[in-house]
Amino acid sequence: MDDMLCDELLQEILPRIPKSLPPPPSSASAASVSLVSKRWLHLYRTSKTSLSLRLNPDDSTISSLTSVLSHYPFLSSLSLFLLSSDPTVPATITSPPAFYDRLLFIVSAICSSLKHLRFLAGPVSQSSLFSLSNSCTFLNSLTISLYRPLYFNWVVSFSCLKELSVYVSGFYGVDDCNRESGFCINEELDAELGLESLFLSGIGGEDYGVGWLWRSSKRLKKLKLKSCEGIGDGGSFLSFAKCLKGLQEVEIRACRSIVNGVLLKLAENCDSLYSLLVYDGGNREGLHHFISSCRCDLQKLDFRLPLDLRNDHLSAIGLNFRGLSTLRLQSCCLVSGEGLKALGIALNSGLEELALINCDVVERESGLLATLGQHTRQLKKLDLSYNEFLLDKEFISMLVSCNCLIELNLRRCAGLTTVSMVSMFKNCRKLQSVDIMHCDGIGAEAVELFVLNSPQLRGLQVEENKVSDVARSWASHKLIQIVS
């Protein structure tokens, strides 16, 4: 059989094998390909275009990384992290700076076809990025961790770069000039970058090099800020305002000290924003001013502001953003049922996605969900997760009005029972994706009933011990993916 399959055919087949499959009975998965033969292993590696590796921060990693990457000659996407680190945060510095530069040099030397690189093994010097730009000329997405002081004119050398994510890891000395590039790292260049998406984490007010990045990024469509105490330029927002005009999406996470200034500048300078997310640190006055004075046709609002979002903000949203299609609120404990009801009435069935995650008002105020359901009949996505004391009666009172739902998230709604599951498949015949993980009141019998009676269901997240053999068999027959 092996001899009958030519290399070209195997290279077409192997990338289509799923990485993992549901519990038995199952067929081969990607993990078992290497066990067939050395030929299959070689062809599997050469057919892979994406790879993610976790590294040990020691000298042996240098030689092992070189060996591993040499087996994957056609990578277009590569992610590198430290073995015990969270890939969403910058690595703790455990090795000398030159160690991480050497790792990046290996990537530059071997993976010249990269289009996407996430290098979070450790912070690199900014001069090492010039070598990367010379080798990986097609790179359009780059995620890195940098030392202070920050300079960003190296971005000019990445001619195809559209997405840049930078984590700031602290202070370390830096050379003033780079021989390969022909100009100084801290030199102010007159350039207009092609960046469309920018993520910055850990920026402070004294990071003056960020000012050049703001002034040179006039094509930005997406901006994400996380754990920033400033926006560079010594606290001045003049340079920052230069990049705002064409922004469409903004995310601000844990940036309490600058969120007021950012929202003020957005209201003044941005006219194309359609999505705003603010998590873990807001400013009541600044938020209200933005909502009341924003000229944009906002489509999506996503807030996690336990101490900053109030009813007056909801009223302003209802008045100024009547075209809103997505509203997501998490842990917003200072809003009342009356405020949410008034907002639902003001939006008048325009909402397609609603999330009230861990909002105690959902559990506290009887009749709230029923009223919301009556005024949001076009909802396609509903997320009521982490409302542990939500009861069947309140949930069902909303469900009977929301017949267009295709996605429903009820994770950790421990108060719901079989009664809710029956109502779901009776009232929501279009449901495709449902999450009922950690819903203690829902058992195996309810899950089986739901799988049998949901004609459009394609994905279900539920504990494995709640999936009976009958439910699993029907899920396989109806092409429903069950994730535990």
Pick the more confident residue, 263 or 95: 263
Is residue 259, in this structure, part of any structural domain at all? no
User: pLDDT tier at 17 (50, 70, 90 boundaries)?
Assistant: low
Is residue 251, in this structure, part of any structural domain at all? no
Is residue 38, in this structure, part of any structural domain at all? yes
Cα 111 to Cα 78: distance, rounded to the nearest angstrom:
9
Which domain-ending residue is among 134, 162, 190? 162
pTM of the predicted model, to two decimals?
0.89
What CATH number is given to the structural domain containing 397?
Answer: 3.80.10.10
Cα 324 to Cα 274: distance, rounded to the nearest angstrom:
9
Percent of the chain scored above 90 by pLDDT?
71
Q: What is the pLDDT of residues 346-370, one digit of tens each?
A: 987 789 999 999 999 998 999 999 9
Stretch 70-81: mean pLDDT: 94
Q: What is the pLDDT of residues 28-73, one digit of tens each?
A: 555 565 556 676 676 778 888 999 999 988 878 888 999 999 999 9
Report yes or no: 260 and 231 within 8 Å, Cβ to Cβ.
Answer: no
Q: What is the pLDDT of residues 131-144, one digit of tens each?
A: 999 999 999 999 99
Report yes or no: 78 and 116 within 8 Å, Cβ to Cβ.
Answer: yes
Which domain-ending residue is among 109, 130, 162? 162
Q: What is the pLDDT of residues 196-207, one digit of tens each?
A: 999 999 999 889
Q: Output the average pLDDT for the chain.
A: 88
Stretch 163-167: mean pLDDT: 97
Q: What is the pLDDT of residues 424-456, one digit of tens each?
A: 999 999 999 999 999 999 999 999 999 999 999
Show the domain range for 113: 34-85+97-162
- Choose the weakest-confidence range: 110-124, 178-192, 287-301: 178-192
User: pLDDT tier at 417 (50, 70, 90 boundaries)?
Assistant: very high
Report yes or no: 418 and 453 within 8 Å, Cβ to Cβ.
Answer: no
What angle (nearest 5°) sits at the alpha carbon of residue 30, between those of residues 25 and 32?
70
Total Cβ atoms within 10 A of residue 192: 11
Percent of the chain scored above 70 by pLDDT?
85
pLDDT of residue 39: 66
pLDDT of residue 127: 81
SS3 368: helix
Cα 258 to Cα 276: distance, rounded to the nearest angstrom:
15
pLDDT of residue 33: 59
Which domain-ending residue is among 116, 144, 162? 162
State yes or no: pLDDT of 9 exceeds 70. no
pLDDT of residue 42: 67
Stretch 234-240: mean pLDDT: 86
Helical packing angle, 469-477 and 444-453, nearest 10°: 20
Is residue 290, in this structure, part of any structural domain at all? no
pLDDT of residue 210: 94
State yes or no: pLDDT of 168 exceeds 70. yes
Helices (H) and strands (E) in the chain, counts: 16, 19
User: Which one, of 343, 478, 353, 365, lies nearest residue 408 by Cα?
Assistant: 353
User: pLDDT tier at 383 (50, 70, 90 boundaries)?
Assistant: very high
Domain count, the chain: 2
**Residues contacting 67, CB < 8 A, separation 6+:** none
pLDDT of residue 280: 93
Cα 134 to Cα 115: distance, rounded to the nearest angstrom:
13
User: pLDDT tier at 4 (50, 70, 90 boundaries)?
Assistant: low
Stretch 18-31: mean pLDDT: 50
Pick the more confident residue, 243 or 182: 243
Cα 190 to Cα 346: distance, rounded to the nearest angstrom:
48
Report yes or no: 226 and 192 within 8 Å, Cβ to Cβ.
Answer: no
- Give the strand pairing for 177-178 and 50-55: unpaired
Cα 322 to Cα 349: distance, rounded to the nearest angstrom:
10
State yes or no: pLDDT of 12 exceeds 70. no
pLDDT of residue 90: 54
pLDDT of residue 350: 87
Is residue 267, in this structure, part of any structural domain at all? no
Pick the more confident residue, 372 or 39: 372
Is residue 173, in this structure, part of any structural domain at all? no
**Consecutive H or E run containing 382:** strand 381-383
